[in-house]
Amino acid sequence: MKAKKILQKLTPYGFLAPAVLIFALALFYPVFYSIRLSFFNWRLVEVYRKAPEFVGIQNYIKIIQSPAFQTSLKVTAIFITITLATELIVGLGLALLAERKIKGLHLFRTIFLLPIMVAPVVVGVLWRFMFNPNYGLVNYFLGLLGFENVLWLSKPFPALTAVILTDIWQWTPFVFLMLLAGLQNVPEDVLEASIVDGASYVQRLRHVKLPMIKSIIGLTIVLRLIDGLRALVVMYVMTNGGPGRATEVLSLHIYKKAFVSRRLGEASTLAVFLIIILLIVSTLLFQFFNTERRTSA
């Protein structure tokens, strides 16, 4: 009887064991290993021949002072701020348009799902083609409107703009779908009550709808931020971080440091910075939206 009870107690751990094992080997240990390696000097060519050489916090000093790192931070910040703001505004606008019972809504939702489902590599390919200076469609349409040809991907500012526009194209639909799901969940009777009370559309939006979907907006922002810090594929395909480092976000900088400059130690230091940024940003956001929720409840 006692043995059976112990066995019962152990059952849940048995069910969890495979997942824990995989997490430990492929996520926990690698993150730990990265942190450790960030204090070592190790080049890609030495992987087979030589053990990493301990250098203390030298990598950190080097990275903090490196212009490439500072640029990548700046690019990442600009990229995330502009994409996030635009995606939220446009996504919310579209969600408000589609929110009321509309015929064919399902078709619209299906179409808006496509950019989310398609591989980032494909997105990079198709926008690299669209932004081609000579036969790309973007310049063609700009030409019809009387603008001159823009060398989109070979000049710093246009290249960053192109990468940002691509991200907006790909991810506004996600914000739209999230906020639409939230809006459709606002209870009918609350809205009706506000209509009876004579609230105008703008008043209802400000005082009823937006407060009710606040936590969803928060969740959407967090998810987009996390994704924004991950983004690198579209830049890799469209510009490879260039021209110069104009579109080299931190994630792409890590890859290039490790496999182009072949410095594994310094790349790990960069990875540690990325983890720290991620932790700070997400803690702040979670705290912000949690307190908001508590005060509104």
CA angle 117, 174, 79 (to 5 degrees): 100
Under rule CB under 8 A, residue 130 binds other proteins: yes
Q: What is the CB neighbour count within 10 angstroms for residue 280? A: 10
Closest CA to 85 of 170, 168, 177: 168
Under rule CB under 8 A, residue 165 binds other proteins: no
Structure tokens at 166: 């691509």
Structure tokens at 90: 């446009």
Which of 164/254 has CB closer to other proteins?
A: 254
Under rule CB under 8 A, residue 94 binds other proteins: yes
Under rule CB under 8 A, residue 280 binds other proteins: no
Q: Give dist(CA 259, CA 247) in Å, integer.
A: 18
Q: Give dist(CA 24, CA 38) in Å, integer.
A: 20
Under rule CB under 8 A, residue 146 binds other proteins: no
**Part of the chain binding other proteins (CB under 8 A), chosen from 64-72, 78-86, 110-118, 204-212:** 110-118
Under rule CB under 8 A, residue 276 binds other proteins: no
Query: 243: cis peptide before it, omega within 30°?
Result: yes
Q: Give dist(CA 108, CA 173) in Å, integer.
A: 10
CB of 241 to other proteins, least distance (A): 12
Which of 141/244 has CB closer to other proteins?
A: 141
Structure tokens at 71: 């640029």
Under rule CB under 8 A, residue 160 binds other proteins: no
Binding mask 47-76 for other proteins (x = CB under 8 A): x-----------------------------
Residue whose tokens read 């730990």 = 32
| 5, 18, 157, 294: residue in contact with other proteins (rule CB under 8 A) | 18
Of 205-244, binders to other proteins (CB under 8 A) are 215-216, 219-220, 223, 226, 229-230, 232-233, 236-237, 240
Binding mask 174-193 for other proteins (x = CB under 8 A): x--xxx-xx--x--------
Under rule CB under 8 A, residue 113 binds other proteins: yes
Helix (H) / strand (E) containing 219: helix 214-230
Q: Which three-class secondary structure string do you get for 34-68?
A: HHHHCCEECEHHHCCCCCCEECCCHHHHHHHHCHH
**Part of the chain binding other proteins (CB under 8 A), chosen from 21-29, 57-65, 75-83, 187-195:** 21-29
Count of residues engaged in binding other proteins, rule: CB under 8 A: 88
